[in-house]
Chain A
């Protein structure tokens, strides 16, 4: 049953999400080719716009897919534990697949290459940690995949939530929680920061910089990966708790 569930979920994932991705990429590349070989200059759908469209469509598809497959597989007898792990692992594999497709696609166009260079510059401070340029490229790819995964996980959570509640409520709940959480963390850190001694302030700053690997001695590459993975684990934990307590009913809307 688990094997068939995998096949079922990935077949839909390919047919309904990867095809959109490849379609957007093909469209963008065709426009890019026309712009290069003809005097016409179409700036309708460059690599940047294609990348944004791919992420948005993939994210929305993931919400629908999670909702429909969670209900279908659970009602076909798959356990909640297997249902969650199958879909959780799929979001991770999707992020790797999407990261690879996107990296390849961006390399092919001038606008895309500029995007990659901008990303490289943004994380350029970490470059000195790596002896070979391919190692740094691998690091950039890893960070890109984790960022894509982090953007997919809230979609996965919303998909799980809308199996038992209204869409708007699920969106509001997930976004509201994220915004409230960010406000709470920022306010409490700021509140503490402005009320403590200069030494404690320096410690707080050092801790915050430490989360992204910065220290006066130089930048370290792995703390950023660990910090992002901790976020991913928190989101995964939330999705696991939702899936474990999922009482499936089809929303009346």
Chain B
């Protein structure tokens, strides 16, 4: 298993510099969350890694080789996105067969299980599938191909709550059985918070956070209580945002808290990943 190294990627669309300087490393057998607001270039970045588009500068390297137009490397990746690249007349079953031959193998047993669990009609033409079932079809492909890096760009697009839950549970189950690297891009952050081990946040064209989720969340707290007490407590701390509800103030803090909080009159709770993301990227706060 190898690391995927992304180095100094830049990409410009006409005058708009989408990616300014993106660098990070994807370690093997980890589940990553790639987060960012609309239009920050998350999908563009995945498209660059997966050889769908070119970076203006920078490189993506696996085992010392560039991934650009490299068949040996690209067959170790799979990108699931909203792009429909299957020929108009192709049926779901035929797509499984061709992809199995193109990638060398396919987990047929697991695909049968997923097809039954999600209720996908494999004899249906892909072009005729509803948005939800098209997503399900792509997810089945992603989970059954023998690849080491799976990039899921908005993997639950059009899925109802039941199917989303089913997908999350299948993702964890297949990850346990056959660990590989998953990179999930989604705006439904709360739903994937329990899945991801590592978070990458992109903002204004650069990676602003690249850390372990547990470590990050251990430093993200909501301090609430009377305004004066909260102000005193958060003195010198990094406050991302403050909210007021009458006399009560809530301060969203990122960083180590004072070791002894027993004498404090404030209440301390852990922030959710979604709240942390919102305040980190919202440019509001102190």
Q: Do A and B come from one complex?
A: yes
Residues of A within 8 A of B (CB): 1-2, 4-5, 7-8, 12, 68-69, 71-82, 245, 247-250
B65: min CB distance to chain A, Å: 13
> Are B71's CB and A78's CB within 8 A?
yes
The CA-CA distance from A204 to B209 in the complex, in Å, is 69
Additional A-B contact list (6), CB under 8 Å, known A75-B79, A78-B102, A247-B54:
A8-B98, A68-B87, A71-B85, A76-B103, A247-B53, A248-B85
Does B84 have its Cβ within 8 Å of any Cβ on chain A? yes
Q: Measured between C-beta atoms, what is the minimum distance from A233 to chain B in Å?
A: 23
Kindly state the separation between the CA atoms of A250 and B82 in the bound complex, as whole angstroms. 10
Is B215 interfacial (CB 8 A cutoff)? no
Specify which of B53, B77, B83, B99 is in contact with A250 (CB 8 Å cutoff): B83
Q: Are A82 and B87 in contact (CB under 8 A)?
A: no
Complex CA gap A69/B103 in Å reads 16
Beta-carbon contacts under 8 Å, B42-68 to A: 50-54
Interface string of B107-141 (1 = CB under 8 A from A): 00000000000000000000000000000000000
Per the 8 Å Cβ criterion, residues 14-52 of B in contact with A are 50-52
The complex places the Cα of A247 from the Cα of B77 at a distance, in Å, of 18
**Residues from chain A with Cβ under 8 Å of B50 in the complex:** 75
In the bound complex, do residue A77 and residue B102 qualify as a contact, i.e. CB atoms below 8 Å apart?
Answer: yes
21 contacts between A and B (CB under 8 A): A1-B102, A4-B101, A4-B102, A8-B102, A12-B87, A71-B85, A72-B85, A72-B86, A74-B51, A74-B52, A77-B71, A77-B102, A78-B71, A78-B102, A79-B70, A79-B71, A245-B54, A247-B53, A248-B52, A248-B85, A249-B53
A249-B87 in contact (CB<8A) = no
A71 to B86 CA separation, bound complex (whole angstroms): 8
Instruction: Give the complex CA separation of A1 and B102 in angstroms.
Output: 5
A-B contact count, CB below 8 Å? 61
Determine whether the beta carbon of A77 is less than 8 Å from that of B77: yes
Chain B residues lying within 8 Å of A77, measured Cβ to Cβ, are 51, 71, 74-75, 77, 102-103
Q: Given the complex, which residues of A lie within 8 Å of B197, measured CB to CB?
A: none
Complexed CA–CA distance, A68 and B79 (Å): 18
Complex CA distance for A77 and B75, rounded to whole angstroms: 6
Interface of B is mostly: loop
Nearest CB in chain A to that of B87: its residue: A68
Interface string of B183-209 (1 = CB under 8 A from A): 000000000000000000000000000
Q: In residues 69-97 of chain B, which contact A (Cβ within 8 Å)?
A: 69-71, 74-75, 77, 79, 83-88
Q: What chain B residues lie within 8 Å of A247 (beta carbons)? A: 52-54
Q: How far is the CB of A78 from chain B (nearest CB, A)?
A: 6
Interchain residue pairs A-B with the least CB separation, the first 10: A77-B74, A79-B69, A247-B53, A68-B87, A71-B85, A4-B101, A75-B85, A77-B75, A76-B102, A250-B83
Question: Chain B: which residue is nearest A68 at the CB level?
Answer: B87
Q: A250 to chain B: which residues have CB within 8 Å?
A: 83-85
Kindly identify which residue among B69, B87, B88 contacts A80, using a CB–CB cutoff of 8 Å: B69
A76: B residues at CB distance < 8 A: 98-99, 102-103
Set of chain B residues within 8 Å of A1, measured between Cβ atoms: 71, 75, 102
Complex Cα–Cα for A71 and B90 (A): 14
Collect the chain A residues with CB atoms within 8 Å of residue B70's CB.
79
* Minimum distance in angstroms from B148 CB to a CB of chain A: 13
A-chain residues with CB within 8 Å of residue B51 when the two chains form the complex? 74, 77
A66 shortest CB reach to chain B, Å: 12
Which B residues from 206 to 224 make CB contacts under 8 A with A? none
Question: Closest CB of chain A to B131's CB: distance in Å?
Answer: 15
Question: Are A75 and B52 in contact, CB atoms less than 8 angstroms apart?
Answer: yes
Q: CA of A76 to CA of B97 in the docked complex: distance in angstroms?
A: 13
Instruction: List chain A residues, Cβ under 8 A from B69.
Output: 79-81
On chain A, the residues within 8 Å of B53 by CB distance are 247-249
CB distance from B125 to the nearest CB of A (A): 13
Partner of A69, one of B71, B75, B87: B87
Closest to B79 in A: A75
Bound-state CA distance A80–B54 (Å) is 12
